[in-house]
Amino acid sequence: MAERKKEAAVVVSQTQLADGIFSMWLQTEAAFSAKPGQFISMYTNDGSKLLPRPISICEIDREQGRLRMVYRVTGEKTGTEQFSRLKAGDAIPVIGPLGNGFPIEKATGKKAFLMGGGIGVPPILELAKQLECEKKQIVVGYRGADTFLKEEFEQNGELYISTEDGSIGTKGNVMDAIRENGLDAEIIYACGPTPMLRAIKQYAEENGMECYISLEERMACGIGACLACVCKSKEIDHHSNVHNKRICKDGPVFLSTEVEI
C-alpha cells in the first residue's frame, strides 16, 4: 500500500564545477526509475530547515543506481550550502524521482533544440544523452566563462553557447545564439529562468513549434498535496478544478501552450 518513502541516499562524490555550482553523485533507489527532466526532493540534516529542496536530475546511472545532482548554492547559511559541504559516504534524505520528465519520444525523426539557462542547464545533459532525434542542437546560456558541463554536452550533440558577458560563444542569451547561428528546429525542450522560458515559449508559438518547458516555483510538499507551486494553465486543471496546474506533480515539464508564464 505505502510503497514510497523518504530514503537515506549516500553521497558517492562531490565536486565544485564553477563559482557556486556543485556536482554531487548520489547512491539512491530513485536512480532506478528516474527519467530526464524529473527532480528529487533533497532534505538537509538541519532541524531548523524542514522543507525539501527540489533539485532537477542532471545524469542518471541506472546500472549503478546513481544520480548526478548539479545545483547552485543559493547563499550563505542556506540548505544548498549545507549540501555542498557533504562528503563521500555522508547520508542525505531524499524522495524521488518526482514529477514528469521531458517526453523524449516526441523528438523521433525531428530536428530538436535542447535549451538550458543558468541552473536550468543541468537537466539538459541527461536529456541530451537519452534523446534520439534527427538533429540534436544543444543551446545553453551562462552568465560568464564558467561554462560548467560544456565537455559533456560536446559529446552528446551540436553545442551552441551564449554568455551574458560575451566571454564564450554568442554574447547575450540562448535566443541570441539561435539567431546568430541561423539555427532552426521542429521541437524544443527547455529549462531555465522564467524570462528565458517566456521568450522561448513565444518564439515556439510564433513559429508553430512543439515546445516543452520545465518550470520551477517554491514548493513545500513536492508531491502534489500542498498546492504551493502552481502555475496558470490554459485548461481547467483536473485536481483543483480551476486554472492552476501543480508544477511538482503535473509538471515540472509542460507543453508550452498548456501554461501561461
Partner 1 sequence: MNMKVNIAGVEWKNPVTVASGTFGSGAEFADFVDLGRLGAVTTKGVANIPWSGNPTPRVAETYGGMMNAIGLQNPGIDLFCERDIPFLRQYDTKIIVNVCGKSTEDYCEVVERLANEDVDMLEINISCPNVKEGGIAFGQNPKAAEDITKAVKKYAKQPVIMKLSPNVTDIAEMAKAVEAGGADAVSLINTLTGMKIDIHRRTFALANRTGGVSGPAVHPIAVRMVYQVANAVKVPVIGMGGISNAEDAIEMILAGASAVSVGTANFHNPAVTMEIVQGIEDYMKKYHVEDISDLVGIVK
- Site of interaction with partner 1 (CB under 8 A): 1-6, 43, 47-52, 75, 95, 217-231, 239-244, 249
The DSSP result for 113-131, as a single string, is EEEEEGGGSHHHHHHHHH-
Q: Name the residue nearer to partner 1 (CB basis): 15 or 240.
A: 240
Report in angstroms how near the CB of residue 47 gets to partner 1 at its nearest: 7
Three cell numbers written together for 243: 486554472
| Least gap, CB of 222 to partner 1 (angstroms) | 8
Q: Minimum distance from CB of 182 to partner 1 (Å)?
A: 37
To the nearest whole angstrom, how small is the minimum distance from the Cβ of residue 216 to partner 1?
Answer: 11
Residue number with CB closer to partner 1 (66 or 246):
246
Nearer to partner 1, 94 or 133 (CB): 94
Q: How far is the CB of 120 from partner 1 (least distance, A)?
A: 18
Cβ contacts of residue 192 below 8 Å, gap of 6+? 115, 116, 117, 118, 120, 121, 141, 174
**Considering beta carbons, is residue 5 or 87 the nearer one to partner 1?**
5
Comparison of 169 and 251: residue with beta carbon closer to partner 1: 251
Q: Tell me how far apart the alpha carbons of residues 154 and 247 are, in angstroms, rounded to a whole number.
A: 30
Residue 126 burial (C-beta neighbours within 10 Å; 0-12, 13-18, 19+)? buried
Candidates 38, 44, 68, 79; CA nearest to 56 is 38
